[in-house]
Structure 1
Amino acid sequence: MTVRIDTLSNGFRVVTERMPALESAAIGVWVLSGGRHERAEENGVAHFLEHMAFKGTARRSAVQIAEAIEDVGGYMNAYTSREATAYYARVLGADVPLALDVIGDIVLNSVFDAREIELERGVILQEIGQAADTPDDIIFDWLQERAYPGQALGRPILGPSEAVRRFGRADLDGFVSRHYSPGNMILSAAGAVDHDELVRLAEDMFGAMKPAAVPPLETATFEGGDLRVEKQLEQAHFALAFEGPKITDPAIHTAQVYAAALGGGMSSRLFQEIRERRGLCYTIFAQAGAFSDTGMMTIYAGTSGDQIGELVGLTLDEMKRAADDMSEAELARARAQLKAGLLMGLESPSNRAERLARMLQIKGRIPPPEEVVAEIDAVGVRDVREMAGHMVAEARTALALYGPVSGAPGQQALQDRRAA
């Protein structure tokens, strides 16, 4: 399997990885702008735009867009994250040109019909309402806002209802004109693909786009804070974040190994101590996430209102203990989980295509899997213990609590527990 990269004269990049044993391919266009690239008053417009891309172009109606891919047995979808918007499809190898034609059409030629805007506005408002009614979804938006208050990175991807209610065609066109430029886009494909053919097709479809500067990214600063929403729910939901390394920091692998050992599976410390030994929760996990300029390690759990105080305290105790006695056996298990997750994921052309785009966005190159495996293997006990100690004693924190949380410790009590 060989990765190949080409750049058109206008800056549009094409990256592919042929997987000879496959009959199918994953292909998509990644626009390197997402929720955090929005202005404050247009929060949610990137996600709205992603929805509208499927609602009709100058060449195809919404039904024709769906039928074009499904007639050949494929599927197509899209997503908006904080740093990118992706439009992608999975098809048989022979249908890759068709998939690219449809994807290019919805990215470049959406008409943003007024009636369709109104219809989709209702759909998105329902999506916002559904998220608000799902505690273990909404709590992560609140946690993000507490970590980066008043900043683009802290705003929700879906946006607030009041903004979605007023978006019109001018808002969509404005975001496209500022961010959908060729140098800010990547065509990525993996599986049964022909690189040279894709470059030719990309030249035909995207080559006439004019280069344009993209607005500078607002730098994010993890500030932290505390948000508590008391509500009569069956469970008290707890989410805690610590400032972590950014995606290009070599320490990101230490954070990932630490998160896996602390709360990455059934054998992890948090799961064993808080669920298995104490029976305080059904779900508890830790994960390390990162952006281009910042990062955060997050711990989440749900428990009963009368046990939330004990759960929060034990979580901090486990983090403190990890700084003193995290073992090589635990880290070997965590490293194995991360490596297996990486390598198993690469068996999917969809995962490979996404990784190609993401790595090209972050690093400007595609590191081979063995390079990443070596970086994970290089994480040692001392590295993890030092990071654990820093997080529990010094790192800024953000906390979100939702439900019957009156029994949760206050901010000062948490700080005292960290310092004890």
Structure 2
Amino acid sequence: MQNPIRFFDLENDFRTYFRPERNTNISGVAVLSGSLCDRPGKNGEAHLSEHMTSFRSKRHTPDRVDAIINKWMGGYGENGKLRILVDRSNIIFGHQDLPTRRHQLISFDMLARFPVDKVVDRGEFPSEKAVVRQEYYQEGLDDIKMLVGDLTREAVYGRTPSGMRIDCTFDDLVGITQEDVDNFVNTHFVANNMCAIFIGRSEKEATTLTRKYFGYLERGAEPPKPKTAKTCRFLKAVVSRYVVRDIKQYYFGFGVPTEGYLSEDAEAIDVLAAILSHRLWRRFRRGNKNFDGGAYRTPVEAERDFAGGLLSLRVATSGEDFLRKVIKGTLEECHKLKADLVPRTKLEVAIGNLETNYLDKIRSDPFELIVKAAANGDRNLVHLGGFRKRLRKVTQKRVCDVANKYLTDAYARVVVGPKEVNF
């Protein structure tokens, strides 16, 4: 049986999570604040802070940082093991599993110093601000799948913290200054708002490394964050968005708000999403015989953080008539889930799918699961550890209940396509 994930705290409330095991070398540091903590009119502060603080440290020049990433972590991009990113509730400075302990120690030495040293080079601010702008285009506006997701979220939550992009909003990015980044870093990069993760290190090793890099830090004031959502803020009417782009397909997005990370409905929502995704796949892919219609994938995602949740889906097709079928068919499938119990066999398949994916992540690389839990009110990992037990308690009636609760007649509807279509 695999060792459980354990944790300990330093006197300054810095927390370390660790799991002793052989032949695994995963580590990193997380700041438990992300884009949800961007101030009003400053969407992009967290992202730009991640860029600026990972450019150099007191010990590592930009050239040295580049050399370590390429030599010891396999480089940048999909083939490398570097894991520096910003999310809604956190910023991560870490790496995936590396070949040897030496690779891990050298990499961690650099990564740990980024959020601790907090070196923000004023001379590099214009360069990194421009990089964030290009990332906003490349992985936002010009990535249609991301665009549909962002528009759906915005349609559901508006210009609230939950409705904003993770990367930035262009108009906000233009106005973000060096002082704004300094303020975000000094406010959120404090010992009691950070944690370290070591997968593959013993408690003695994890303690030694934690005290070396974080033991001298002073405890800071609690960083300001949006309030934890206790209930779901339901939409009151259908909200529609239509964007014309020079592309070949029509992308349909659908979304409804849900409760947040610690919701009692969490696992039932996950099961509902899995079942709905499969039903849409069968209907729009296997059920289509028209060359001008059909759909390749029908992903349904259930996202949650401490500020709220979003159940959303995305379907792309090249035919105008089929787009109308997709919109109508999606609403019909939602109605069926509200009206009828799902077959027991389909429920078991969905639960099995979710359990398999959970086990794969928790056993091979639980880094991001740990950080997400810690940043969203589950600091002791009780909620994360109880996922399988709660998942197995999801019944046919429970799925029907959450469908009726969240799949209301008020929802967000987004279409991005080559021209406007009446629907």
Which residue in the other structure is 2:326 paired with? Answer: 311
| Cα gap change, 1:71 to 1:18, in 2 (>3 Å) | same
Which residue in the other structure is 1:40 paired with? Answer: 40
Which residue in the other structure is 1:198 paired with? Answer: 206
Which residue in the other structure is 2:337 paired with? Answer: 322
**TM-superposed deviation, 1:219:** 5.2
Residue among 136, 143, 168 paired with 2:145: 136
Which residue in the other structure is 2:10 paired with? Answer: 8
* Structure-2 separation of matches of 1:76 and 1:392: 39
Q: How does 1:256-271 map to 2 (within 5 A)?
A: 256-263=270-277, 268-271=278-281
- Normalised by the length of structure 2, the TM-score is 0.88
Which residue in the other structure is 2:258 paired with? Answer: 244
| Cα gap change, 1:252 to 1:322, in 2 (>3 Å) | same
Unaligned runs of 5+ in 2: 75-80
Q: How does 1:212-231 map to 2 (within 5 A)?
A: 212-218=221-227, 222=233, 224=235, 225-231=239-245
Alignment pair present for 1:19 and 2:18: no
Count of paired positions = 399
Which residue in the other structure is 1:170 paired with? Answer: 179
Which residue in the other structure is 1:417 paired with? Answer: none
Deviations 1:306-352 (A, max 9, x none): 3222210001101111221411111111011001111122332xx31
SS of equivalent residue, structure 1 residue 314: helix
**TM-superposed deviation, 1:270:** 0.7
| Cα gap change, 1:370 to 1:135, in 2 (>3 Å) | closer
Alignment pair present for 1:28 and 2:31: no
Alignment pair present for 1:343 and 2:359: yes
Which residue in the other structure is 1:400 paired with? Answer: 414
Alignment pair present for 1:107 and 2:84: no
Alignment pair present for 1:77 and 2:115: no
Which residue in the other structure is 1:272 paired with? Answer: 282
SS of equivalent residue, structure 1 residue 36: helix
Matched to 1:187, the amino acid is: A
SS of equivalent residue, structure 1 residue 289: strand
* Structure-1 separation of matches of 2:421 and 2:207: 60
* Structure-1 separation of matches of 2:356 and 2:385: 12
Matched to 1:311, the amino acid is: V
Alignment pair present for 1:287 and 2:295: no
Deviations 1:270-322 (A, max 9, x none): 10012110253222121211111421211111123332222100011011112
Matched to 1:378, the amino acid is: K
**TM-superposed deviation, 1:240:** 0.7
* Structure-2 separation of matches of 1:73 and 1:142: 35
Which residue in the other structure is 2:216 paired with? Answer: 208
Residue among 294, 315, 323 paired with 1:301: 315
* Structure-2 separation of matches of 1:72 and 1:231: 41
| Cα gap change, 1:33 to 1:287, in 2 (>3 Å) | same
SS of equivalent residue, structure 1 residue 407: coil
**TM-superposed deviation, 1:397:** 1.8
SS of equivalent residue, structure 2 residue 363: coil
| Cα gap change, 1:104 to 1:126, in 2 (>3 Å) | same
* Structure-2 separation of matches of 1:218 and 1:284: 33
Which residue in the other structure is 1:380 paired with? Answer: 395
Q: How does 1:41-56 map to 2 (within 5 A)?
A: 41-56=41-56
- Normalised by the length of structure 1, the TM-score is 0.88
| Cα gap change, 1:95 to 1:326, in 2 (>3 Å) | same
